Amino acid sequence: MKLNNLILVSALLIIGCSNNTTTTAVLSEKTPTEQCNDNEKVEYKSTIDIINTRRSVRMYKTTPISRDTLNIIAECGIKAPSGMNLQPWEVRILDNQDMINQMSEIYKEDNQIDTTLFRNMFRNAVAVIFLGAPKNTHLFDSGLLAENMMLAAWSMGIGSCCQGGPINLLKTNPKYKFFMDKLDFPEDYELIMCIGFGYPGDTPKPTPRNANKIKYIE
């Protein structure tokens, strides 16, 4: 099967299986592609389980994420709805550890870092997806894209963490210009979010939610 077809089939499997709320909640550490190659039964959590069990992960194993898997994550991202189907986003995937480390060295030089748990400036992720959007607009569309990617990742046992913190630094500190140029966003686009991905190295506790935010209009 051609790579593109395989990616499409895997993505459809995720969506198809995820709609079935009775699917057994078993997650393999292998990607769907690896499971298919090993003739294993591919099992996914239900969409509701995936949403309810996702946590922001800030400590990861060093295991790399294969490009097949990163492609599935990104493809699921761009399946997100967007106003008038404008798809007003740009998605850049960084899985080059040297580059992640070089960026993090600058971060370490410029910030007081407790290096005990610090592996890199992207919350220790092994891959980072940078999102660009047209300046000052269309953020909602990219938010949908981001959540699609994080949920798709989690359905394959891959944790993630949105990071708004480094955005200003990356955009304004001239030491990062080389890396920002690499993103190669169109002229009228800007960096709006970095999302770190990796196989979880710990099990974060759920963070509380305020159910009072939801009200029926009677």
Ligand X SMILES: Cc1cc2nc3c(=O)[nH]c(=O)nc-3n(C[C@H](O)[C@H](O)[C@H](O)COP(=O)(O)O)c2cc1C
Name the site residues for ligand X (rule: CB under 6 A). 55-56, 58, 123, 161-165, 204, 207
Stated as kind and residue range, the H or E segment containing 91 is: strand 90-94
Comparing CB distances to ligand X, the nearer of 11 and 161 is 161
Cβ closest to ligand X, residue 42 vs residue 153: 153
Cβ atoms of residues 77 and 151 within 8 Å: no
Which of 198, 160, 206 shows the shortest CA–CA distance to 60?
198
Please state the closest distance from residue 58 (CB atom) to ligand X, in A: 6
- Name the minimum Å distance from CB 162 to ligand X: 4
Residue 57 burial class via C-beta count within 10 angstroms: exposed 0-12, middle 13-18, buried 19 and up: buried
What is 175-202 written as a DSSP string?
Answer: GGHHHHHHH---TTEEEEEEEEEE-BSS
Q: Which residue is nearest to ligand X, using beta carbons? A: 165
Q: How far is the CB of 147 from ligand X (least distance, A)?
A: 9
Please name the amino acid found at residue 19.
N
Of the pair 7, 100, the CB lying nearest ligand X is at 100
**Smallest separation (angstroms) from ligand X to the CB of 194:** 8
User: Does residue 204 contact residue 57 with C-beta atoms inside 8 Å?
Assistant: yes
Question: CB-wise, 56 or 82, nearer to ligand X?
Answer: 56
